[in-house]
Amino acid sequence: MPLQHKDPTKTTAWAALTDHFNNTQTRDIKAAFASEENRAANFTIKWQDFYVDYSKNALHKETRKLLLDLAEELDLKTAIAQYFKGDLINQTESRAVLHTALRAGVEEQVLVDGQDVIPEITAVKAQMRDFVSAVENGEKRGYTGKAFTDVVNIGIGGSDLGPAMVVEALKHYKNHLNLHFVSNVDGDHVNEVIKKLDPETTLFVVVSKTFTTQETLSNATTIKKWFLSHAREQDIALHFAAVSTNTAKIAEFGIDPSHVFPMWDWVGGRFSLWSAVGLSIALAVGYEHFEQLLRGAHDMDTHFKTASFEENIPVVLSLISIWYANFHKAETQAIIPYTQYLSRFSAYLQQGIMESNGKCFDRAGNRVSYETESIIWGEPGTNSQHAFFQLMHQGTKLIPADFIGFKESLHGDIEHHHKLMANFFAQTEALLKGKDRAEVQAEFEAKGIALDNVTQIAPFKVFEGNKPTNTILINKLTPKSLGSLIALYEHKIFVQGFIWNIYSYDQWGVELGKQLATNILSDIEGQTNKDHDPSTAALLKQFMG
Ligand code: F6P
């Protein structure tokens, strides 16, 4: 069954939220703390090793109630059940959306077209496990008999960002294999990577759901050519592996059938790291760690399916995002992880969130009359504090932000970790509390600064505060907790897309650019300049001239 089509703005809950927004002062978060007893505890969800504090938000208990009413009125519960049981909720591509099945238990049953997909998933996992251990222990070797030392993941979008983000995030757990990623069709990218490699000891994993993506096929062809300038045609079988739904195309590339890892069209590219697309992850950290990543995601799936909406982390965080996007009209959302290991996390979520919910047509094909997804951005703290935090503290924009931190560090350097986490807590506190004119003045006076200077400078030192944040505090960055964290955001995408009445799992918006690039490439190669707008025609003339 497809997802229902219902305009959220036509619900009773939306009308009540509008009324509440217009008639209640929710932006003064400091005042809410002052007037509401136990606000911090009342707006916190504890689950496994996650502590999610959403008390520093521009909302009251009544706001939360109305947002939860919205989820109830739209019957989110039924939609969640449809998502997990493989209904064709990606209706515009006539597909189920079942990345959750990839981390389900072997005893579970998930049907696609009446066929249980769990046995196939289990078989591919076994193939991955055997392959990874053979590469790790040197059973599989290169064409001169040397063990592999390096692995190159060749893919783009979901076939790159997920593996690249997780390999970086789990660097602490890595084995002896060095991972590299080639994604951009820019030849400088692939050539810079090749420069560092020894063909005798490098394994290449070509990842493409469709196996038709220009960037990936170009990079794979360039790498193959480079490899063949050192080795023989039959050595390709030893050094190349591929992950795709398009197994026929892989054969054309000359990859040995035992190195072909299938995936399925019910796994969206941006949700595919749990499938064989995660082969590079398993190669980097070992198969057991990859399994733990899946286990963590599965636990979050269970939480999402079974917890009441009020205690449900993905549901609550989604409703808060809707509150800001649709009522406060916030344009962006920042995601700031306080660990260098998550340096690729925001980039990964940019695809996951914006490719999914960056839509302006509702599920009936009408243009929506309300806002959908925000612009997602972020960088790890504390680096970001020394870059864009000025604007978050004193700029004119409302920027809700998720702060993600860990109680324990991985290297156990307490001194550094205390400093890092002091900054983590200080930032959300500063964003909330700000500093008023009286405090600024008192600070000046305490330093004995002359009154004239105080009057001149004081206005610029005022922080208004009341800037909203969520704090996600997790015990430790492990494969399992990372799995749960990623799944949290995946489910958040689902809830928001469902409520906004849009299709989250297609990505037609990336097609036009691809089509035009094909035309322009033929112009460049044929030295023609056909059917372009005046600006593009002039630019092409300049480029080719
Ligand atoms: O950017 C569009 C897109 O289709 C993404 O959704 C996908 O992750 C990426 O291209 C790569 O596609 P493929 O895995 O088929 O090469």
Contact assessment for residue 351 and residue 161, using Cβ atoms and an 8 Å cutoff: yes
On whether residue 91 sits in a domain, the answer given is: no
Output the pLDDT for position 254: 86
| pLDDT interval class at 47 (50, 70, 90) | very high
Active site residue 289: no
Q: Quote the domain boundaries for residue 519.
A: 511-544
| Distance of alpha carbon 545 from alpha carbon 513, whole angstroms | 23
208 lines ligand 1 (CB under 6 A): yes
Based on the fold, state whether residues 345 and 264 are members of the same structural domain: no
| pLDDT interval class at 383 (50, 70, 90) | very high
Active site residue 331: no
DSSP class of residue 367 equals B
The pLDDT tens digits of the residues spanning 5-44 come to: 999 999 999 999 999 999 999 999 999 999 999 999 999 9
**Of the ranges 173-187, 245-259, 323-337, which one carries the lowest mean pLDDT score?**
245-259
On whether residue 379 sits in a domain, the answer given is: yes
Based on the fold, state whether residues 339 and 392 are members of the same structural domain: yes
Output the pLDDT for position 137: 98
In Å, what is the CA distance from 126 to each residue of 176, 281, 300, 485?
22, 15, 23, 25
Q: Check pLDDT > 90 for residue 331.
A: yes
Q: Of 204, 272, 271, which Cα lies nearest the Cα of 244?
A: 272
507 lines ligand 1 (CB under 6 A): yes
Sign of the Cα pseudo-torsion (11, 14, 19, 24, in order): positive
On whether residue 86 sits in a domain, the answer given is: no
Mean pLDDT computed over every residue of the chain: 97
On whether residue 269 sits in a domain, the answer given is: yes
For the residues 307-328, what does the mean pLDDT come to? 98
On whether residue 18 sits in a domain, the answer given is: yes
Active-site position among 61, 416, 419, 514? 514
The pLDDT tens digits of the residues spanning 418-440 come to: 999 999 999 999 999 999 999 99
Task: Tell me the angle at which helices 511-526 and 534-544 cross, rounded to the nearest 10 degrees.
Answer: 40
Based on the fold, state whether residues 232 and 123 are members of the same structural domain: yes
On whether residue 117 sits in a domain, the answer given is: yes
Based on the fold, state whether residues 383 and 330 are members of the same structural domain: yes
Based on the fold, state whether residues 106 and 235 are members of the same structural domain: yes
381 lines ligand 1 (CB under 6 A): no
Please tell me the total count of domains within the chain.
4
Q: Check pLDDT > 80 for residue 286.
A: yes
* Residue 395: strand pairing partners: none
Q: Check pLDDT > 90 for residue 455.
A: no
Active site residue 514: yes
Ligand 1 atom 2: residue of nearest CA = 510
Amino acid residing at 523 = D
Spacing, Cα 364 to ligand 1 middle (Å): 25
Paired tokens of 96: 């189920």
On whether residue 82 sits in a domain, the answer given is: no
360 lines ligand 1 (CB under 6 A): no
| Distance of alpha carbon 99 from alpha carbon 298, whole angstroms | 10
| pLDDT interval class at 251 (50, 70, 90) | confident
For the residues 379-404, what does the mean pLDDT come to? 98
**What are the φ and ψ backbone dihedral angles of 365, each rounded to 5 degrees?**
90, 5
Based on the fold, state whether residues 329 and 444 are members of the same structural domain: no
Q: Check pLDDT > 90 for residue 248.
A: no
Based on the fold, state whether residues 363 and 485 are members of the same structural domain: yes
**3-state SS, residue 50:** strand
Q: Check pLDDT > 80 for residue 170.
A: yes
358 lines ligand 1 (CB under 6 A): no
Q: Check pLDDT > 90 for residue 114.
A: yes
On whether residue 176 sits in a domain, the answer given is: yes
Sign of the Cα pseudo-torsion (212, 215, 217, 218, in order): positive
Ligand 1 atom 3: residue of nearest CA = 157
| pLDDT interval class at 162 (50, 70, 90) | very high
| pLDDT interval class at 258 (50, 70, 90) | very high
Amino acid residing at 539 = L
Based on the fold, state whether residues 335 and 418 are members of the same structural domain: yes
Domain finish residue from 466, 485, 520: 466
Angle, CA of 225, 231 and 233, to the nearest 5°: 70
Report the residue among 92, 95, 153, 156 best suited for mutation to probe ligand 1: largest number of ligand atoms under 8 A from its CB.
156
**What is the CATH number for 60?**
3.40.50.10490
Spacing, Cα 380 to ligand 1 middle (Å): 26
Contact assessment for residue 262 and residue 279, using Cβ atoms and an 8 Å cutoff: no
Ligand 1 atom 16: residue of nearest CA = 208
Domain finish residue from 291, 321, 340: 291
Report the residue among 99, 183, 209, 247 best suited for mutation to probe ligand 1: largest number of ligand atoms under 8 A from its CB.
209
Q: Which atom of ligand 1 is nearest to the CA of 159?
A: 14
Active-site position among 200, 215, 291, 355? 355
| Distance of alpha carbon 408 from alpha carbon 477, whole angstroms | 8
Based on the fold, state whether residues 454 and 359 are members of the same structural domain: no
Output the pLDDT for position 100: 98
Based on the fold, state whether residues 147 and 166 are members of the same structural domain: yes
Report the residue among 161, 261, 507 best suited for mutation to probe ligand 1: largest number of ligand atoms under 8 A from its CB.
507
Contact assessment for residue 170 and residue 284, using Cβ atoms and an 8 Å cutoff: yes
Query: Is the full-model pTM beyond 0.85?
Result: yes
Q: How many residues does the chain have?
A: 545
Spacing, Cα 277 to ligand 1 middle (Å): 12
Based on the fold, state whether residues 245 and 317 are members of the same structural domain: no
Based on the fold, state whether residues 413 and 442 are members of the same structural domain: no
